[in-house]
Structure formats: structure tokens, C-alpha cells
């Protein structure tokens, strides 16, 4: 499902315009991003939890040359599905 298809479904289900559904979706994704930037968890009951996973700095290897390289510490978004969401897709 693409973003456009999701907006269309949201608009139909909520009986609102596609423009309003698009603004709502954009607002949600922006809010998630802002919360995760602050290292906050976002929990949507029945759906899941968005959080930030921290990866420590480590040594790696360039697969072409075999040379050892340093990989910097990083943060990555993480999603853990809720129980109801897991059951809904099984």
C-alpha cells in the first residue's frame, strides 16, 4: 500500500476529504519523528510502539578489500507491534 492509497482509505473510512486525510497522516508522521528525535517512546494501544534503537560504535570490515573500518555509533527507529496487531495479521 502506498501513501496515496493509505490517504484514500483514511478519507473513505473517516468520511473526510483526501486533503484532510493527507494532512492528518503528515501530522502523525511528523509527530512521531519529533518524539523519536527526543528519544521518547510513542505507544499506540492496539497497534504498537515506536522507539529509538541505539547502536554502539564498532569495528567492521570492507568486503571488497578486507580492510578494517570504524563504524560510528548511530540511532535507528524501531517498531514493536502490539499484541492485537500481531493477532490481526495471523
pLDDT at 11: 96
Q: Is the pLDDT of residue 72 over 90?
A: yes
Domain residues for 56? 41-90
Same domain, yes or no: 27 and 50: no
CATH number at 60 reads 4.10.520.10
Per-residue pLDDT tens for 12-58? 999 999 999 999 999 999 999 999 999 999 999 999 999 999 999 99
What is the tally of structural domains in the chain? 2
pLDDT at 90: 85
Same domain, yes or no: 88 and 46: yes
Same domain, yes or no: 18 and 53: no
Phi, psi of 39 (to 5 degrees): 60, 30
pLDDT at 37: 95
Same domain, yes or no: 64 and 85: yes
Residues in the chain: 90
Find out whether 32 and 65 touch, Cβ atoms under 8 Å.
no
Amino acid at each position: 500500500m502506498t501513501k496515496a492509497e493509505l490517504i484514500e482509505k483514511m478519507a473513505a473510512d473517516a468520511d473526510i476529504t483526501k486533503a484532510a486525510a493527507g494532512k492528518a497522516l503528515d501530522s502523525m508522521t511528523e509527530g512521531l519523528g519529533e518524539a523519536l528525535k527526543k528519544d521518547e517512546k510513542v505507544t499506540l494501544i492496539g497497534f504498537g510502539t515506536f522507539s529509538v534503537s541505539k547502536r554502539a560504535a564498532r569495528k567492521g570490515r570492507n568486503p571488497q578489500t578486507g580492510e578494517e573500518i570504524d563504524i560510528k555509533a548511530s540511532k535507528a527507529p524501531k517498531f514493536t507491534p502490539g499484541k492485537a496487531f500481531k493477532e490481526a495479521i495471523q
